[in-house]
Amino acid sequence: SVNLPINTTYERLVPFNITISEDVRLEYIDNLDSSPRWRRLCTNCDEYGNSRAKTKSFSRGNHDILIRALDKAGNSDVEARSFTVDY
């Protein structure tokens, strides 16, 4: 499950905290980007942002992202998050 980011305003660096129950590949896409594409957060990860702070840099403005977890069998789960970056 995606614990962060939440629907709020962040500075340039947006914190990510994702709880995972198995090894997956994590990716995200920003639907408000001028050319949206899937970007990798991590590969073969069993947690993201719990033992070490994880952040991603985003440009100023509104962001509407999808976070996708893909397991080795090809199953996926997607969660949506929206937030604003103002610096």
Tell me which residue of 72, 49, 52 sits closest to 1, measured CA to CA: 49
Per-residue pLDDT reduced to its tens digit, 9-31: 999 999 999 888 889 999 999 99
Task: Give pTM, 2 decimals.
Answer: 0.88
- pLDDT greater than 80 at residue 32: yes
User: CA 20, 26, 31 angle in degrees (round to 5)?
Assistant: 125
